[in-house]
Structure 1
Amino acid sequence: MDNADASRLAERTRAEFGEIDPLFGEIDPFSAIIRTTQLPMVVTDPRRHDNPIVFANPAFLRMTGYERFEVTGRNCRFLQGPGTCPKSIARVREAVRAERSIEIDLLNYRKDGSTFYNALHLNPVHAKSGTLQFYFAAQLDVTERYRLIREREAANEALQEALAVKTTLIHEIDHRVKNNLQMIAAMIVLQSQRIPDPSTRASMLDTLQRVEALGTVHRRLHQSESASRFDIADFVRDLVADLVGATGRSDIRVELDLASAVIHADKSVAVALLLNEIVTNILKHAFTEGRPGTIAVQVAAGSEIRIVVEDDGIGMPEAAEARSTFGQSLMGTLARQLGARLTVASAPRKGTRVELILSG
């Protein structure tokens, strides 16, 4: 279409679009606003072949780089290119066919071939009779928004990659620590076999159990998807099974009521040692002389984490005796390190009840 044809088409459309006030012969205020606004706008005429543009305001021309005569009389698809999403184009075509509004972002092309993201708001304009007369399209260059989204996605991807590397390294450290603890445990076993004094040998075996508890912690951390979080419930399940199994006794029952209770990995070692001492003390002192019984462990998570270990054994030793043991002293030290509340009392089943409350 040459300049003369474009001008004639524009002139034929002006009266219908309302650019000239029929009473005063002056520029219609509404039309003047559309011309001067910084929001790109076009009007198309579906009554003409191929629904051509019959009006484009200066903001649209600035956004696309075209002259008025280059867009008037053409379908808006000239803004599309190889990168424009076919599904989005199909949605626009369907909206035009159905004579309904649509809001959609399209990748469009300027006259110079550069691309921009166009936030299109397309609305049909009907006469009072209901007949479709025009399509009115307001548009906005939102390329900057997409650039920021891409930058944020790239930054998130880089952060995720860095986190994955960090997690892998920490897991590798946990794996190596676990292996080293296994070597230490093996050396303790060998050394204990050479010690003739029963009390010294028993003390060495107590240390062995503490080392093995630490090994269980690092095994759990190595297997965990997160290198910074530690689930107490999973650890308790392993610890109790290992300690009771090590006694070789089948007459000690275990009751577990374990809710997932996640703490930061920094607390895992102290919690593991503390629970090891609690369960070990019960196995040593509650079921003496072949007395059968039950160990019940409950883990509950809420605003605080509550761990209860209870038995139905012979009951608590004298308070003075309890304070004199290394295990009791270690338990108190670990509880203070965790900022936890630790109470030891008689259990309803006439055994011992130990309750540990700590923050997550």
Structure 2
Amino acid sequence: MQEKDQHRTNARNAGNRLVAGHASEDPFAAAFKATRMPMIVTDPHQPDNPIIFCNEAFRKLTGYSDDQIIGRNCRFLQGPDTDPDTVSKVREAVATGRDVAVDILNYRKDGSTFWNAVFISPVRDEAGSIVYFFASQLDFTNVKSREADLAAARHEAEAEVAKHTANLRSALEARMLLVHEVDHRVKNNLLTMASIVKMHIRVTRDDGRRQTLLSVLNRIEALSTVQRKLFTLEDVSKFDMSEFTRELVTDLVDATGRKDIRLSLDLAPLLVPAVKATPLSLIVNELVGDAVRRGLSDGGGDINVVVRRLNGHLLMRIEDTSEPVDFDVENAELGRMLLEASAHQLGAEIERKQEGRRTIVDVVLLVGDLEEDAR
């Protein structure tokens, strides 16, 4: 018993040291504690990789108190109906220091079950050694229930579709609820990935690695923006390209804090199929980000972004005027590869012209006959 108490004391001390490493005003530490997503940190250097820190959301999800959680391996949430193959998958990933994402049946303190979407990732120091494991959870029990309800409604509608149009409408509404639940989960997973990258940035001392992580974080945040914009319209099959471009470009320029980077926007209302949203977001992010980096010279620069519809095509032009600056070759090559892959996926044409200090990039792709004005 004394040995068990000592292990829990060691775990709590490790958690206190982790918290002490973040200033009280640190926005990441505050977000970790306050977020509604349950999160824990474990210490693989202690026996049985115990939990050393958890937030309030995790305590609410499981029903356990802080004293009942700290110092224990998170397997205490498993029960009779937990899938052993899933448990083995988690154990193997932790043992080999790999990321892992699983859906697992867990048990609360009161014995009730819940479906838990778990994402676990190692946190490494500058030498590449694992110092912690970070895990986020998401209770998606309601989504599981809705999936079953939706399946039953769909079978009934297929059997009597001619007589029961009202039932069919109800099933479609239920399907829409499910889509929004999935969207919520995707946004939470993107938030989790961004949080993990930010944590990695904090523990990284190598400037080159930090810049690489920042470029990854920039692209994750662009995807988060497009995911948020996908559900601003009643029809989720369409995506408002102009509004997305306005928000992303403005955020990219504002983030520089530079008053000498002058931005002008000419954005006509334009809807495109939602399936094109992700590759389009990456194209906008890469091209505008490239223009912003060129505008970080001493003289700043002008950036003009145009989005309009032309004979069933989307025309996007990004034009900038600035002094050339040195750039990160590795990041530039990654940007080029992302542009090529996204353009290929869309069937888009990208044309770049250089006229002295002036760079013009045109992106043209077929978007069909969707309505131009979303409002």
Q: Is the CA contact 2:301–2:323 (under 8 Å) kept in the aligned structure 1?
A: no
Q: Which of 303, 307, 310 is residue 299 of structure 1 equivalent to?
A: 307
Partner of 1:169: 178
TM, length-normalised to structure 2: 0.50
Q: Does 1:353 align with 2:360?
A: yes
The one-letter amino acid of 1:352's match is T
* Structure-2 separation of matches of 1:314 and 1:153: 67
Q: Is the CA contact 2:297–2:323 (under 8 Å) kept in the aligned structure 1?
A: no
Q: Does 1:249 align with 2:268?
A: no
* Structure-2 separation of matches of 1:275 and 1:259: 16
Partner of 1:342: 350
Partner of 1:311: 320
Q: Is the CA contact 2:316–2:363 (under 8 Å) kept in the aligned structure 1?
A: yes
Q: CA deviation at 1:154?
A: 6.9
Change (3 A) 1:261 1:194: same
Deviations 1:3-53 (A, max 9, x none): xxxxxxxxxxxxxxxxxxxxxxxxxxxxxxxxxxxxxxxxxxxxxxxxxxx
**SS of equivalent to 2:230:** helix
Q: Does 1:330 align with 2:330?
A: no
Aligned positions of 1:17-166 closer than 5 A? 157-166=166-175
TM, length-normalised to structure 1: 0.52
5+ residue gaps, structure 2, are 1-159, 368-375
* Structure-1 separation of matches of 2:314 and 2:165: 32
**SS of equivalent to 1:282:** helix
**SS of equivalent to 2:234:** coil
Q: Is the CA contact 1:316–1:351 (under 8 Å) kept in the aligned structure 2?
A: no
Change (3 A) 1:256 1:156: farther
The one-letter amino acid of 1:202's match is Q
Aligned positions of 1:204-283 closer than 5 A? 204-283=213-292
* Structure-1 separation of matches of 2:234 and 2:164: 22
* Structure-1 separation of matches of 2:360 and 2:302: 12
* Structure-1 separation of matches of 2:319 and 2:227: 26
5+ residue gaps, structure 1, are 1-150
Change (3 A) 1:250 1:324: closer
Q: CA deviation at 1:169?
A: 1.9
* Structure-1 separation of matches of 2:267 and 2:165: 35
The one-letter amino acid of 2:207's match is P
Q: CA deviation at 1:230?
A: 0.7
Deviations 1:156-192 (A, max 9, x none): 5444433333223222222221122112112111101
Change (3 A) 1:157 1:355: farther
* Structure-1 separation of matches of 2:315 and 2:219: 22
Q: Does 1:287 align with 2:268?
A: no
Q: CA deviation at 1:232?
A: 0.7
* Structure-2 separation of matches of 1:180 and 1:323: 24
Change (3 A) 1:322 1:205: closer
Q: CA deviation at 1:322?
A: 10
Q: CA deviation at 1:202?
A: 0.7
The one-letter amino acid of 1:275's match is V
Task: Work out the percentage of aligned pairs sharing the same amino acid.
Answer: 35
* Structure-2 separation of matches of 1:265 and 1:301: 16
**SS of equivalent to 1:254:** strand
Aligned positions of 1:181-192 closer than 5 A? 181-192=190-201
Q: Which of 205, 210, 214 is residue 201 of structure 1 equivalent to?
A: 210
* Structure-2 separation of matches of 1:154 and 1:317: 68
Change (3 A) 1:158 1:255: farther
**C-alpha RMSD over aligned residues:** 2.7
* Structure-2 separation of matches of 1:343 and 1:322: 22
Q: Is the CA contact 2:222–2:281 (under 8 Å) kept in the aligned structure 1?
A: yes
Q: Is the CA contact 1:213–1:272 (under 8 Å) kept in the aligned structure 2?
A: yes
Q: CA deviation at 1:269?
A: 0.7
* Structure-1 separation of matches of 2:167 and 2:289: 46
Q: Is the CA contact 2:238–2:271 (under 8 Å) kept in the aligned structure 1?
A: yes
Change (3 A) 1:154 1:327: same
Q: CA deviation at 1:338?
A: 0.7
> How many pairs align?
206
Deviations 1:216-275 (A, max 9, x none): 011111332121111110110110111112112222121111112211111111111111
Which structure has the greater CA radius of gyration? 1
